[in-house]
Copies of this chain bind each other. A is one copy, B any other.
Amino acid sequence: MKVIKFGGSSLASAEQVKKVIQIIKDDDKRRFVVVSAPGKRASNDRKVTDLLIDLYDACITNKETFATIDAIYQRYAEIAAPFGIDSAVLADILESLQTLATLPITDNSYFLDEILSAGENNNAKLIASICQASGIPARYINPKELGIVVTNEPQNAHILTKAYKKIYEWRHAKEILIIPGFFGYTENGQICTFSRGGSDISGAIVARGLRASLYENFTDVNGIYAAHPGYIHEPETIAELTYREMRELAYAGFSVFHEEALMPCFQASIPVVIKNTNNPSHPGTQIVTERTNLERPVVGISSDEGFSMIYLSKYLMNKEVGFTLRILEIFRDFDLNYEHMPSGIDDLSIIFRSEQLNEETEEELLRKIAYEINPDELRITHDLSLVVVVGEGMKQRVGSMAESTAALARKNINLEMINQGSSEVSFMFGIHKEREKDAIRSLYYTFFE
């Protein structure tokens, strides 16, 4: 049994929803369908979720809400038009939006979640009706009924472990269940949304709860690219990658999934496949616990900018634990997280995301380090990019590292930092951000032809 999730662009128009209906019909293992709110129809369009934020703003400032409610309603009506569904469904959607706008507001935070959830919730109702009209035995189910119990944190809810047991009871549901993504209910019955991009996590939670054999995540790309298409013309699609590979790629700029979205599937070893609603016959990218085909050492190359590096050296400093502890305590005092801490014999570098410091706090930090550590040398480098080469097949990495450094040397790209050793899945280069594109290209054409 498969859990299938459709993103906003897959549900943005009647034309898209026709593809979705066909996809559901194509495989009778697709029994649980998680839906997002209708997304953009074109790049200059607005998503339903953005319109709902407008509605929220109008409500809390006591402005006129009619036009916004109508704009939202029209999106659903337009999608519904060709399918000949029961008109009561649309009337119900309009009424629920009007009701939302007149709710007494006791807490802005909960009120926002109430409004935001309407995008997915109404869409699930609509898609369920469209399914029925298309001959699919489906029904809408509310997340409360399904058992998605979450922590009491508006806009940042987390699933409670006991939810999985409740969800599991639905595994033999007679009908295909159409589930709105993006939100759950607290134990007190309050709606709370996951952080943005949260329909992905709804799908993963449902897949874990039901112990699905596969979580199919339908979006508008053929899968995960081996490099950023902004840097590489028509990069390859990755056929299969492990959770760890995906995580390493995501760290440095790949933003296919929200950071924690796949955690439930990872924990339950449920494979995930990313597929394209517009090209469903493409096999997509499969994310698995362990990969069988390791012929190719590298699966992908990613990069991220915005790092800084503090370098400090002190003759005979010795890397006593106490010494590093002191530095990390200073970092803690400044509420700074570090990313990497490569060390030489008598020196240490600390790489961290630059956004954590402004000019003033940076000066304070350096002054504190200078005062407490009294290094022979202390300096900071800005505008560092991290380039990550990822692949479980590199475990015997002799060749891959040599090929990578040679590729960078050919382009005369200076390496501020190399980090390898901890992860068996990747290695990492720190370079000046101006050379990031060159580095990605040079590495890509080394490992992918």
- CB within 8 Å of B: which residues of A? 243-244, 247-248, 251, 259-260, 263, 266, 309, 311, 313, 315-316, 318-322, 324-325, 328-329, 331-332, 336-349, 351, 388, 396-399, 401-402, 405-406, 408-409, 412-423, 425-428, 430
Which 5 A-B pairs give the minimum distances between C-beta atoms? A344-B423, A417-B421, A342-B421, A402-B409, A402-B405
A344-B426, A405-B402 in contact; A420/B421 too (CB < 8 A)? Answer: no
A319-B337, A405-B401, A406-B406 in contact; A342/B419 too (CB < 8 A)? Answer: yes
What's the least CB distance linking A383 to chain B, in Å? 15
Q: Is B316 a contact partner of A422 (Cβ separation < 8 A)?
A: no
* Chain B residues with CB under 8 A of A329: 325
From A318, A401, A419, A427, name the one whose CB has the most chain B CB atoms within 10 angstroms: A401
What's the least CB distance linking A337 to chain B, in Å? 5
Q: Is A313 a contact partner of B409 (Cβ separation < 8 A)?
A: no
Q: Is A316 a contact partner of B247 (Cβ separation < 8 A)?
A: yes
- The chain B residue sitting closest to A325, CB to CB, is B328
* Chain B residues with CB under 8 A of A260: 316
Sample of 24 A–B contacts (CB below 8 Å): A244-B346, A247-B315, A248-B344, A324-B341, A325-B325, A325-B328, A325-B329, A340-B342, A340-B421, A341-B343, A344-B423, A345-B423, A345-B426, A397-B414, A398-B408, A398-B415, A401-B409, A402-B408, A416-B421, A418-B419, A418-B421, A418-B427, A419-B419, A421-B430
- The chain B residue sitting closest to A329, CB to CB, is B325
Q: How far does the alpha carbon of A192 sit from the alpha carbon of B414 in the complex, in Å?
A: 50
- The chain B residue sitting closest to A349, CB to CB, is B422
Q: Is B430 a contact partner of A415 (Cβ separation < 8 A)?
A: no
What's the least CB distance linking A274 to chain B, in Å? 18
Copies of this chain assembled into the complex: 2
Q: How far does the alpha carbon of A336 sit from the alpha carbon of B417 in the complex, in Å?
A: 26
Q: How far does the alpha carbon of A259 sit from the alpha carbon of B315 in the complex, in Å?
A: 11
Q: Is A343 a contact partner of B263 (Cβ separation < 8 A)?
A: no
Please tell me which one of the listed residues B316, B336, B337 contacts residue A318 in the complex, with CB atoms under 8 A apart.
B337
Q: Is B421 a contact partner of A349 (Cβ separation < 8 A)?
A: yes
Q: How far does the alpha carbon of A244 sit from the alpha carbon of B415 in the complex, in Å?
A: 20
Q: How far does the alpha carbon of A430 sit from the alpha carbon of B420 in the complex, in Å?
A: 10
Q: How far does the alpha carbon of A247 sit from the alpha carbon of B317 in the complex, in Å?
A: 11
What's the least CB distance linking A291 to chain B, in Å? 16
Q: How far does the alpha carbon of A418 sit from the alpha carbon of B426 in the complex, in Å?
A: 12
Q: How far does the alpha carbon of A319 sit from the alpha carbon of B422 in the complex, in Å?
A: 12
Q: How far does the alpha carbon of A427 sit from the alpha carbon of B427 in the complex, in Å?
A: 15
Please tell me which one of the listed residues B316, B343, B402 contacts residue A340 in the complex, with CB atoms under 8 A apart.
B343
A405-B401, A406-B406, A416-B421 in contact; A332/B322 too (CB < 8 A)? Answer: yes
Q: How far does the alpha carbon of A311 sit from the alpha carbon of B332 in the complex, in Å?
A: 24
- The chain B residue sitting closest to A419, CB to CB, is B342
Q: How far does the alpha carbon of A82 sit from the alpha carbon of B370 in the complex, in Å?
A: 58
Q: How far does the alpha carbon of A294 sit from the alpha carbon of B87 in the complex, in Å?
A: 82
- The chain B residue sitting closest to A396, CB to CB, is B414
Please tell me which one of the listed residues B315, B347, B422 contacts residue A342 in the complex, with CB atoms under 8 A apart.
B422
* Chain B residues with CB under 8 A of A320: 337
* Chain B residues with CB under 8 A of A396: 414
Please tell me which one of the listed residues B341, B399, B414, B420 contacts residue A417 in the complex, with CB atoms under 8 A apart.
B420
| 19 further interface pairs, Cβ-Cβ under 8 Å (given A399-B409, A416-B421) | A243-B315, A244-B346, A313-B423, A319-B337, A321-B337, A340-B342, A340-B343, A342-B342, A342-B419, A342-B422, A344-B422, A344-B426, A345-B426, A346-B423, A347-B422, A402-B409, A406-B406, A418-B420, A421-B430
From A316, A321, A349, name the one whose CB has the most chain B CB atoms within 10 angstroms: A321
* Chain B residues with CB under 8 A of A406: 402, 405-406
Q: How far does the alpha carbon of A260 sit from the alpha carbon of B315 in the complex, in Å?
A: 10
Q: How far does the alpha carbon of A78 sit from the alpha carbon of B242 in the complex, in Å?
A: 75
Q: How far does the alpha carbon of A344 sit from the alpha carbon of B418 in the complex, in Å?
A: 11
* Chain B residues with CB under 8 A of A344: 248, 419, 422-423, 425-426, 428
Q: How far does the alpha carbon of A348 sit from the alpha carbon of B409 in the complex, in Å?
A: 27
What's the least CB distance linking A371 to chain B, in Å? 19
A321-B328, A339-B319, A405-B401 in contact; A345/B418 too (CB < 8 A)? Answer: no
* Chain B residues with CB under 8 A of A345: 247-248, 251, 388, 423, 426
